[in-house]
Amino acid sequence: MPVADYARVVWAIIAKDAMVEWRTKTAFLSAMVFAILVLSILFFARDPTAVSSLDVAPGALWVTFTFAAMVGLNRAFLLERENGAMDGMLLTPIPRTAIFVGKMGGNLLFVALVEAISIPLFILFYNVSLAGRLPQLILVTAMATVAFVAVGTLLSAMVVRTRFAELMLPVLLLPFLIPPVVSAVQVTARILAGRPLSEMMPWLKLLAGFDIVFCVLTVLLFEATLDE
Amino acid sequence: MPVADYARVVWAIIAKDAMVEWRTKTAFLSAMVFAILVLSILFFARDPTAVSSLDVAPGALWVTFTFAAMVGLNRAFLLERENGAMDGMLLTPIPRTAIFVGKMGGNLLFVALVEAISIPLFILFYNVSLAGRLPQLILVTAMATVAFVAVGTLLSAMVVRTRFAELMLPVLLLPFLIPPVVSAVQVTARILAGRPLSEMMPWLKLLAGFDIVFCVLTVLLFEATLDE
Amino acid sequence: MNEPLLAAQDVSRRFGYRQIFSNVTLTLEPGEVLALVGPNGAGKTTLLRVLAGLLKPTTGSVRRNGTIGLVAHHSMGYDALTARENLAFAARLWGVSETGRIDLLLDRLGLSKWGEMRTAAFSRGMIQRLAIARALVHDPGILLLDEPLNNLDEPGAEVVLQVIDELAERGRAIVVVTHQFERIAAIATSVGYLVGGSLEGPEPIDGRAAEVVSHKYRSLLAGG
Amino acid sequence: MNEPLLAAQDVSRRFGYRQIFSNVTLTLEPGEVLALVGPNGAGKTTLLRVLAGLLKPTTGSVRRNGTIGLVAHHSMGYDALTARENLAFAARLWGVSETGRIDLLLDRLGLSKWGEMRTAAFSRGMIQRLAIARALVHDPGILLLDEPLNNLDEPGAEVVLQVIDELAERGRAIVVVTHQFERIAAIATSVGYLVGGSLEGPEPIDGRAAEVVSHKYRSLLAGG
Amino acid sequence: MTRRERALGTARTGQVVTAISLLALAGVFVRALAFTPVDRLQGPAQKILYIHAPVAFTSLMAFAVCGVLSLIYLAMRDRRLDRAAAASAEVGVAFSVAMLITGPIWGKPVWGTWWTWDARLTSTLFIFLLFVGYLIMRDAVIDPDQRARFSAVIGIMGLVLVPFIHLTVYLFRTLHPNPTLLKPSAPSMPGVMLVTLLSSIGVFLLLYAGFVTQRYAVAALQELREEEMLRDS
Ligand code: HEM
Ligand SMILES: Nc1ncnc2c1ncn2[C@@H]1O[C@H](COP(=O)(O)OP(=O)(O)OP(=O)(O)O)[C@@H](O)[C@H]1O
Ligand SMILES: Nc1ncnc2c1ncn2[C@@H]1O[C@H](COP(=O)(O)OP(=O)(O)OP(=O)(O)O)[C@@H](O)[C@H]1O
Ligand SMILES: [Mg+2]
Ligand SMILES: [Mg+2]
């Protein structure tokens, strides 16, 4: 299949997901509510005399992102299950990987949107100043997000077919979140503290490695989850 | 309807939910793995040089509980929507409130299970010593859980029935979740720090008031969400 | 016994700003089998749900003198439970004592050998059979059937027709929505045409053949 | 042109440890309309999914020389999208240029006035019509229909029969699963009986009436 | 020989191997308790080493075996590979439980705490949880082919994940002893202790082999019985 056609199909899937989400807005609003809730729980949970809000900020940010992503991932494949819509895609001659990449693109869009809204809220709540370091924060966010959306998309494709298994997505996904989330937290903490790039490098390398390995692996393994 | 019959019907609904959950045969195991993973993500999502694990403990506990409740609530009403099963209940002569109480009971059971597993793990992992203060922790957990499960059950019932409410659920839910969860976090932090009861009283009163008002209110309002 | 089992008076229903039907008036006497026909999207399912009490009519009122059994487009069951468990749950909600009745129904609808299988693995026809069994679990006074023959094979359809006959004989009232005119004469004692947002009839059909119903229906369609 | 459009060779399928059918062999020539009959739970839907390539056969092989159009028990659509959007999405995946074709299909299936409505608010019959339109969007070489007349009113059923005729005339192959024997003679050129886990036939039915098919089916049922 | 007889034969082999290794285990215990010196710093608590380390090593190896078998399964689609992978994962989880019980029992007297978020402890915990998830998933899928494919996918992903988790948590490193055995320089442990430890590891590997063989045979027999039931009905 020529690259242009491949891209067109991937885009069709992303656009469809975006349209469905736009019509219902449920997942997005739930994710936002969850984000606000987590940000405030962690804000109020600390003893203000002992811990400054800045110290818990990186953790709060990443816990928020992680769980918001979970809400989105779960929904993305439920959508395909509802009326057996996945069958409609599988009948067409498009490559299986295009379906995966399309669904992953939709999920990325979703999580990115939640993140884009959470970051300002986070800056507001936790009163952090990011002068000039916002690009760095965006970079690390993007890197970590790609990592867990790739794995999450693959796992939710399987979990959704085991029926009544909403709990299983977190159970399977969370171990895979440890490396990207921990790295991201570490990098974020250093960014907020204004440390030099060199101090973040080991973590960034880890993240980059994780991204590359798992993006390739998940695309390859997706087909194995399909052929019945 | 005589009280005995009422109780029988409520029990039938709870038993059915438990059976559906049990069919995965793994609800308990999943809940356990889930709790461990959430607790440890939060543990690692902090900068170890700046924040001691004890300082993030209350937040970790309540994020775990909130997330578990969200998963449980979502699932409980999706179940009723899947094949229009709710219609089957509404046709019968059982009082509407019994349906509500039954669903709420099922949700409470689920969340309580996760909590019962999380607390010992939490003590182990975060190395907190609760000598003699465990009953206090259980009390506040129960109070906050009842509050948000009641509100959550009502709102998720609305989501199942009317398409419009789908938009409103998360938005409505947020303001109702903040008071109990934030109160619970505050009380938990004081319990862990070994503060006297008097320091927690204002929060506990708030929680108790919230519980009473919203349990009554949600039971009364449930019927209004049903008749279209 | 002369009290109608169900009486709908000037019932209308809107969804948002769309009026689906208006001024529907009908009564169901014991022993009556009403066939409800009408094109796709006419509002048959909506009317049935109003009669069942699952939807409030926008205006008008419905009085019911019996319990409702409903076979709808959806199965109202839980995929994770077996056929038997699904029926047992319904029975408990209706306050019916379970065992004998459930075995009987499973047997009647040809589900005996599937009783212990989770309905997630059921074929469409098996699901339809279970939905019918479920509607009968409490021996309803008023049975509402929304295209009950969907997905059923010959013997299955036969059973449904027998059940309708038996219930009618025992003084129940039945409403059947169907698109299969050739069956109507055999099943129903009266027919109502839901076309263009209003109900024509119900009028008796005893002795009249499928062609008559079909002909009248077509002329209504052309007129609306 | 003499190459069959679809050839299944010794196909069998299990779910878990239950053998649903075995040794199914069939070919579909251009212009052939095969009616597939069998009791509930016989495996008709499963066979159709194997032919479509959605399920791998446990043993045996299926060769396809054309694109597949499938009308299944489920609609394969998205509730949040309108009828038109659903068709447009399918068209894009198939690489079909959209507009003219979609208008045509909506019109053909009587959905023109519902085109801009979200399918969440569709009646069952409207959903079925959309599923049929969806299966036709890329003018498939092989059309597989799983009880396509379900929920359709008379004019709707008429359209489906016409579509089948037209496609057959244009050298497509069609498989129809149905329980309505009285329609078979009018639609199909051959019939296959899926009873007791194996396929009897396909054999030609030209000129033979519904009674013949029905009689043979009953005798197979009794024999199995 | 029928498949049934072969499966029964495999089961018997497994039983024999298990019996032998249990006997050997008793021998190792006697040696550990009676003929190996007490550690000068840690006292008798150190005796747990002879269970803890072998059990930990074996369970990690079991998970690795599961991952590799999963990979081969996806390539060859032979149901036996799936059965073996599952058996290995199950035994690995059981051994992990033993590790997670003996570790804290040892940790309390030595470190003064049941649990600490040190790199090695944490990464083993996550790997353990991953394979608990693997088993939960197996339970939730009914169709054997689908189950095999899904499990294989998770097994492979797990295999790839392990080094990443290791790298990650290493930056939280704290208390746990670094490898004394598998390291570039020579083992740093008194000879007597080392011999006891090594023989214990050998015995646990044998035990692992016995368990997996039996579990594999049981799965094969289950499959056979279900097929027979199918044929009868
Ligand atoms: C609390 C839970 C604990 C866990 C999960 C745990 C886990 C492990 C693991 C995974 C290994 C690696 C086996 C290998 O790679 O060959 C190991 C080995 C070992 N553990 Fe632990 N451990 C725990 C507690 C302890 C404690 C408290 C001590 C003693 C202070 C201890 C001492 C050792 C020793 C000496 C080895 C052998 C090291 C080697 O030769 O590689 N462990 N443990
Ligand atoms: N996913 C599945 N897992 C296990 N068994 C299944 C599954 N899907 C179908 N079956 C079983 O396969 C058999 C055939 O099902 P299928 O849906 O093909 O029947 P059918 O001939 O289409 O019946 P109907 O006329 O009722 O639609 C049934 O007994 C059903 O229980
Ligand atoms: N929840 C809803 N919101 C808005 N409109 C609806 C809703 N449910 C049904 N409708 C509309 O009401 C009309 C009647 O629907 P209904 O399902 O009652 O038709 P029906 O006569 O049962 O048709 P069919 O024969 O296709 O089953 C349809 O036009 C449909 O679009
Ligand atoms: Mg309808
Ligand atoms: Mg079928």
Q: Give per-residue pLDDT as tens, D145-163.
A: 999 998 998 888 889 999 9
> pLDDT for E42-95, tens place per residue?
666 667 777 888 888 899 899 999 999 999 998 888 888 999 999 999 999 999
8 Å CB contact of C93 and B9: yes
Helical pair A26-44 and B165-192, crossing angle rounded to 10 deg: 20
What tokens were used for D220? 């197979």
As a whole number of angstroms, the distance between CA E198 and CA D45 comes to 59
Of D208 and D185, the one with more pLDDT: D185
pLDDT confidence bin for A163, thresholds 50/70/90: low
Q: Which ligand 3 atom sits closest to the C-alpha of C18?
A: 5
Of A143 and E22, the one with more pLDDT: A143
Which amino acid does the sequence have at B59? G
Distances (CA, A) of A91 to A96, A157, D15, D168: 10, 17, 21, 21
DSSP string, A95-147: -HHHHHHHHHHHHHHHHHHHHHHHHHHHHHHHT---TTTHHHHHHHHHHHHHH
pLDDT, residue E38, reads 67
From chain E, pick out residues whose CB is under 8 angstroms from the CB of B26.
Answer: 136, 139-140
Regarding the beta carbon of E179 and ligand 1, being less than 6 Å apart is answered yes
Distances (CA, A) of E191 to A157, E34, E39, E129: 53, 16, 13, 35
pLDDT, residue E231, reads 61
Which amino acid does the sequence have at B96? R
As a whole number of angstroms, the distance between CA D138 and CA D140 comes to 5
Ligand 3 center–CA C198 separation, angstroms: 14
Ligand 4 center–CA C123 separation, angstroms: 21
Q: Which residues have a Cβ under 8 Å from the Cβ of A195 and sit 6 or more positions away?
A: none
As a whole number of angstroms, the distance between CA C204 and CA C192 comes to 9
Mutate to test the interface with C, among D13, D17, D36, D40 (most CBs of C within 10 A): D40
Which among A18, A155, A150 has a CA at the least distance from the CA of A74? Answer: A155
Question: What b/e readout covers B193-207, taking b as 16+ CB neighbours within 10 angstroms?
Answer: eeeeeeebeebbebb
The answer to the question of residue E40 being in a domain is no
pLDDT confidence bin for E185, thresholds 50/70/90: very low
pLDDT, residue B86, reads 85
Percent of chain E exceeding pLDDT 90 equals 16
The answer to the question of residue C47 being in a domain is yes
Domain containing D17 equals 6-66+141-221
pLDDT, residue E37, reads 65
Q: Is the pLDDT of residue E174 over 70?
A: no
Domain containing A84 equals 3-227
Which of A19, A82, A87 is nearest residue D85 as measured by Cβ atoms?
A: A19
CB D14 within 8 A of CB D157: no
> pLDDT for C13-61, tens place per residue?
988 788 888 888 898 889 888 989 888 988 999 999 999 988 888 888 8
As a whole number of angstroms, the distance between CA C95 and CA B5 comes to 8
pLDDT confidence bin for A178, thresholds 50/70/90: confident
CB C131 within 8 A of CB D40: no
- Partners of residue C190 on adjacent β-strands: C34, C204
As a whole number of angstroms, the distance between CA C195 and CA C202 comes to 13
Q: How many domains, in total, are found in chain D?
A: 1
Which of C70, C74, C80 is nearest residue B23 as measured by Cβ atoms?
A: C80
CB E204 within 8 A of CB E61: no
Q: Which ligand is nearest to the CA of E107?
A: 1
Residues in chain C: 224
The answer to the question of residue C46 being in a domain is yes
CB D7 within 8 A of CB D35: no
Q: Is the pLDDT of residue E225 over 90?
A: no
Q: Rounded to 5 degrees, what angle do the CA atoms B139, B145, B149 make? A: 155
Percent of chain A exceeding pLDDT 90 equals 21
CB C120 within 8 A of CB C79: yes
Q: How many domains, in total, are found in chain E?
A: 1
The answer to the question of residue C58 being in a domain is yes
pLDDT, residue E84, reads 92
8 Å CB contact of A84 and D74: yes
Which among B72, B114, B183 has a CA at the least distance from the CA of A41? Answer: B183
What values do phi and psi take at C120, rounded to 5? -55, -30
C-alpha gyration radius of chain B: 18
Regarding the beta carbon of C51 and ligand 3, being less than 6 Å apart is answered no
CB C75 within 8 A of CB C131: yes
Name the strand (E) or helix (H) holding D143: strand D142-146
pLDDT confidence bin for E186, thresholds 50/70/90: very low
Scanning every residue of chain A, which has its alpha carbon at the shortest distance from the alpha carbon of D15? A228
Average pLDDT, chain D: 86
Q: How many domains, in total, are found in chain A?
A: 1
The answer to the question of residue C112 being in a domain is no
From chain A, pick out residues whose CB is under 8 angstroms from the CB of B33.
Answer: 171
Distances (CA, A) of D89 to A15, A154, D81, D169: 9, 23, 10, 28
What tokens were used for B40? 């440890």
Those residues whose beta carbon sits under 5 angstroms from the ion ligand 5 are C 123-124; D 45
Distances (CA, A) of A39 to A174, B59, B120: 20, 10, 25
Average pLDDT, chain A: 84
Which chains form contacts with chain D, at 3 or more CB pairs under 8 Å? A, C, E
In chain C, the DSSP E strands lie at: 6-15, 18-28, 33-37, 59-64, 68-71, 142-146, 173-177, 190-195, 198-204
C110 in contact with chain D, both atoms CB, cutoff 8 A: yes
CB D179 within 8 A of CB D193: no
Q: Which residues have a Cβ under 8 Å from the Cβ of C34 and sit 6 or more positions away?
A: C26, C28, C173, C174, C175, C176, C188, C189, C190, C191, C192, C202
Q: Rounded to 5 degrees, what angle do the CA atoms D62, D66, D72 make? A: 75
From chain C, pick out residues whose CB is under 8 angstroms from the CB of A163.
Answer: 79-80, 120
Residue B172, burial from CB neighbour count under 10 angstroms (0-12, 13-18, 19+): middle
Q: Is the pLDDT of residue D136 over 90?
A: yes
Residue E232, burial from CB neighbour count under 10 angstroms (0-12, 13-18, 19+): exposed
The CATH code of the domain that includes D215 is 3.40.50.300
C80 in contact with chain A, both atoms CB, cutoff 8 A: yes
As a whole number of angstroms, the distance between CA C73 and CA D69 comes to 24
Percent of chain E exceeding pLDDT 70 equals 79
- Which residue shows structure tokens 């279209």? B228
How high is the ipTM of this complex?
Answer: 0.85
Average pLDDT, chain E: 79
Domain containing E129 equals 7-32+46-232
Q: Is the pLDDT of residue A161 over 90?
A: no
Ligand 4 center–CA D139 separation, angstroms: 28
As a whole number of angstroms, the distance between CA E42 and CA E106 comes to 10
In chain C, what's the furthest Cα-to-Cα distance?
Answer: 52
Q: Which residues have a Cβ under 8 Å from the Cβ of C172 and sit 6 or more positions away?
A: C5, C30, C31, C66, C140, C141, C142, C143
pLDDT, residue A14, reads 93
> pLDDT for E4-27, tens place per residue?
888 888 888 888 888 888 887 777
The answer to the question of residue C81 being in a domain is no
Name residues of chain B where pLDDT drops below 50: 163-165
Q: What is the mean pLDDT of residues A29-54?
A: 76
- E195/chain B closest Cα distance in angstroms: 34
Which among D112, D122, D123 is the best mutation to test ligand 3's pocket, defined by most ligand atoms within 8 Å of the CB? D123
Ligand 4 center–CA C27 separation, angstroms: 21
Ligand 5 center–CA C125 separation, angstroms: 7
Q: Which residues have a Cβ under 8 Å from the Cβ of A188 and sit 6 or more positions away?
A: A57, A58, A61, A62, A137, A140
The answer to the question of residue E135 being in a domain is yes
Name residues of chain C where pLDDT drops below 50: 1
